[in-house]
Amino acid sequence: MKKAFMGVRLKRLREERRLTQQALASAIGISLSYLNQLENNQRPLTIAVLLKLNAVFGVDVQLFSEDDEARLVADLRETLSPTVVGENVSAAEIRELAVNMPAVARAIISLSRNHRLAIEQTAVLAARLGEDRQAATAILPSTPHEEVRDFFYARHNYFAELDDAAEQLAQQLAPSRQLTSASLSDHLRDKFGITVMFDDAPAAAHRRFDQECATLHLSRKLEPGQQAFQLATQIALLACDGELSALVDGARFTNVDTRGLARIGLANYFAGALIMPYGEFLDAAQKLRYDIELLGQKFGVGFETTCHRLSTLQRPSARGVPFFFIRVDRAGNISKRQSATDFHFSRIGGTCPLWNVYEAFATPERILTQLAQMPDDRTYLWIARTVTHREGGYGSLSKTFAVALGCDIRHAEEIVYSRGLDVHDPASATPIGIGCKVCERVDCPQRAFPPLGRPLMIDERQAYFSPYAASTP
């Protein structure tokens, strides 16, 4: 047993037994000064003292267990993370709380869980009343990323001022051909006096702008399409500074980090619109029946970038298919979600495991299609595929996501991915839900836990909590 300084726990035990220090010291056969040192963490609690406490008072040794301390530390780290409390609580402070004041630590964890449950229950109620986006956004505490995603969602992922400006610039730079990184570099040099340099920095670094030297540094590890996108993003930050500021100010973000993130997101939007000009891209998309791979080849961009651009085609005078766009990792974390229409991405308890976006990880880089029916009987066509970002040599880690693009079934005939699907037969659709905590499908074989706000029936309790239950009811 390593040295364990647990004076506060020992003091609490004595106070619960309503003993003086002298009475406790006499009961376990140690001196008063030794007990005082133990309680003030000047001496470690030894196995001998612990055994005496157990023999005299029947104290459960788990009260002084290091395993219990480790569990408390883990729970406290989650509860007191900067994204939750808005302040950095050091590992030393967390450990001190777990070791010396475990009851307080457990109380903090309990309060946090109750608070989270209350938020989820309120958000679930809002979702059932058809107010998921507006009400849940107001109820659930947001990170800067969530706030920016909600901002794009509220604008239906379309910004006319940026799309129009990007299309006009694309016509000036390359009226009859595809924009390349070379032409964009020339524009930065001629218009803004900026030199573009390609370095050996990791691709994850994307770009670095040295304002004093008027030099834009890009990683030479980026693909040509990625290089063009980063160059276009820098052009947006320089040429559309007023438009970006007006949009960010209009959103009334109060957090500096959120404002900065929104600005980058809008600059990225402009970059996509510059490389894939609205009119030309929409015309190609309709002619190719929204074939993502063929569109990517035509405009020199990747699968994910093409999907993202397809979710923005909502110009009032020339609308494309209103797509929903989402990117998730293997753990179900949603890192991107955009919607040009009214599909509600849940922020409550994850998404549905029957959704083909998760099946995509089992068949890397293969496009999967799915007809999915929501609990409100609305049916959607979904396309999902994995994308992998890798840099470095053998043994280096890579980033793999599943990207999904969806639309209402009424648009299925316009899309090449409906080929071979019986879009007119309701029985061919997979019943999915927004998430287990919101979905009311009690007969779902993949349900992880019951919906919030509904009491469990006796047979449901057995299905959820029996170790021998093969599936939920």
The verdict on 163 and 103 lying in the same domain is no
On whether residue 152 sits in a domain, the answer given is yes
pLDDT band at 2 (very low <50, low <70, confident <90, very high): very low
Average pLDDT over residues 10-30: 85
Among candidate residues 214, 242, 275, the one where a domain is terminated: 275
For 393-432, what is each residue's pLDDT tens digit? 777 778 899 999 999 999 999 999 999 999 988 889 999 8
pLDDT for residue 303 is more than 90: yes
pLDDT band at 56 (very low <50, low <70, confident <90, very high): confident
What is the residue-averaged pLDDT of the chain? Answer: 82
Please give the Cα distance from 89 to 86 (Å, whole number).
9
The verdict on 147 and 86 lying in the same domain is no
Domain enclosing residue 264, as ranges: 143-275
- Say what the pLDDT of residue 317 is: 92
pLDDT for residue 60 is more than 80: no
Please give the Cα distance from 424 to 426 (Å, whole number).
6
The verdict on 94 and 147 lying in the same domain is no
For 430-463, what is each residue's pLDDT tens digit? 998 777 766 777 778 887 777 665 555 555 555 5
pLDDT for residue 278 is more than 90: yes
On whether residue 195 sits in a domain, the answer given is yes
- Say what the pLDDT of residue 135 is: 47
Among candidate residues 275, 297, 323, the one where a domain is terminated: 275
Average pLDDT over residues 366-370: 96
The verdict on 80 and 151 lying in the same domain is no
The verdict on 165 and 267 lying in the same domain is yes
Structurally, how many domains does the chain consist of? 2
pLDDT band at 75 (very low <50, low <70, confident <90, very high): confident
pLDDT for residue 73 is more than 90: no
- Say what the pLDDT of residue 43 is: 84
On whether residue 119 sits in a domain, the answer given is no
- Say what the pLDDT of residue 409 is: 92
Query: Helix H segments across 17-143?
Result: 21-28, 32-39, 47-57, 66-79, 82-85, 91-100, 102-128, 132-139
For 185-230, what is each residue's pLDDT tens digit? 999 999 999 999 988 776 666 788 999 999 999 988 888 889 999 9
Average pLDDT over residues 42-55: 81
Exposure string of 221-246, with b = 16+ CB inside 10 Å and e = fewer, is bbeebbbbbbbbbbbbbebbeebbee
Cα 405–346–154 angle (5° rounding)? Answer: 75
Please give the Cα distance from 335 to 308 (Å, whole number).
13
End-to-end alpha carbon distance in the chain = 47
- Say what the pLDDT of residue 343 is: 62
CATH number where 153 lies: 1.10.10
The verdict on 170 and 54 lying in the same domain is no
CATH number where 17 lies: 1.10.260.40
Average pLDDT over residues 171-191: 90
Average pLDDT over residues 318-344: 83
Q: Which residues contact 374 (CB under 8 A, 6 or more apart)?
A: 380, 432, 433, 434
